[in-house]
């Protein structure tokens, strides 16, 4: 029988299962991925914004994000698993800048509206940054865009996760940076936008999410999107990191 949930590259088998979300600390999970085996990394790491929205009338309904007080990127591990032809796209905020010697460009995501914030002492924030870190042999697939991208954000009442990204912007990244059947990795899945779009675009995915309540949301989204073979693969390691259950 041919196993479709593990990957064979050359003589190696990648132990980490593909097309699954792993409810665990990505630091542990990444260790199980083979060197030079991932085509595209899209990630939105916790980055110190401790999300609040004025759209919520009462309590913020979302679970606080773990590791949200610093920019938390296991960069060495991400570089280790990325193929020489691959590229990384990392969301970050101007408040916690991304500093890396291989940062080649910063894509500015311009949103359709801006935050209220400090009404009298600051300008409304209407953008987010995406750090572009390609490996040497990476080539853009298809159309070449500028580094200013306009995509609508999701309305607050539609969010399943406080920093959920719209599928449209993830689709753009996957389109320019991968081909069908390529492997897309997102070590900080949140509500699973990268997984859902990867599946829709016929890419393989590997994902980690440490917080069990968000892990459940991902699986709910994947099953709603008729991805019924993307089942739970829960690891006991989540408990020691203080997840909700």
Ligand X SMILES: C[S@@+](CC[C@H](N)C(=O)[O-])C[C@H]1O[C@@H](n2cnc3c(N)ncnc32)[C@H](O)[C@@H]1O
**Interface with ligand X (CB under 6 A):** 25-27, 44, 46, 65-67, 161, 163-165, 187-188, 190-191, 193, 208-211, 214
- Cβ 222 to ligand X, closest distance in Å? 13
Q: For ligand X, which is the closer residue by CB, 4 or 95?
A: 95
- Cβ 2 to ligand X, closest distance in Å? 30
Q: For ligand X, which is the closer residue by CB, 71 or 85?
A: 71
- Cβ 161 to ligand X, closest distance in Å? 4
Q: For ligand X, which is the closer residue by CB, 6 or 27?
A: 27
Tokens of 156: 């607050």
Nearest residue relative to ligand X (C-beta): 190
Helix H, strand E, coil C: the string for the chain is: CCCCCCEEECCEEECCCCCEEEECCHHHHHCCCCCCCEEEEEECCCECCCCCCCCCCCCCCCCCCCCCCCECCCHHHHHHHEEEEEEEEEEECCCCCCCCCCCCEEEEEECCCCCCCCCCCCCCCCEEEEEEEECCCCCCCCCCCCCEEECCCCCHHHCCCCCCCCHHHHHHHHHHHCCCCCEEEECCCCCCHHHHHHHHCCCEEEEECCCHHHHHHHHHHHHHCCCCCCCCEECHHHHHHCCCC
Q: For ligand X, which is the closer residue by CB, 160 or 179?
A: 160
- Cβ 195 to ligand X, closest distance in Å? 10
- Cβ 18 to ligand X, closest distance in Å? 17
- Cβ 84 to ligand X, closest distance in Å? 26
Q: For ligand X, which is the closer residue by CB, 25 or 137?
A: 25
Q: For ligand X, which is the closer residue by CB, 4 or 94?
A: 94
């Amino acid at each position: 029988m041919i196993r479709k949930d593990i990957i064979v590259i050359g003589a190696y088998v990648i132990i980490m299962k593909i097309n699954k979300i792993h409810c665990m600390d990505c630091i542990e999970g990444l260790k199980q991925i083979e060197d030079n085996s991932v085509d595209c990394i899209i990630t939105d790491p916790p980055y110190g914004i401790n999300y609040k929205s004025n759209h919520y009338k009462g309590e913020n309904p979302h679970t606080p994000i773990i590791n949200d007080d610093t920019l938390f990127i296991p960069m060495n591990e991400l570089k280790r698993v990325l193929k020489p032809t691959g590229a990384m796209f990392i969301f970050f905020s101007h408040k916690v800048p991304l500093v890396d010697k291989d940062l080649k460009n910063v894509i500015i995501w311009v949103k359709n509206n801006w935050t209220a914030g400090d009404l009298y002492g600051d300008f409304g924030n209407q953008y987010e940054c995406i750090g572009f870190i390609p490996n040497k042999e990476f080539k853009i697939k298809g159309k070449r865009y500028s580094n200013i991208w306009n995509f609508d954000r999701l309305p607050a009442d539609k969010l399943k996760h406080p920093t959920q990204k719209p599928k449209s912007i993830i689709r753009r990244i996957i389109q320019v940076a991968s081909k069908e059947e390529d492997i897309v990795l997102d070590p900080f899945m949140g509500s699973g936008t990268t997984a859902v779009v990867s599946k829709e675009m016929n890419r393989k995915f590997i994902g980690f999410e440490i917080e069990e309540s968000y892990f459940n949301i991902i699986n709910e989204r994947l099953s709603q999107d008729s991805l019924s073979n993307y089942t739970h693969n829960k690891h006991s390691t989540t408990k020691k990191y203080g997840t909700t259950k």
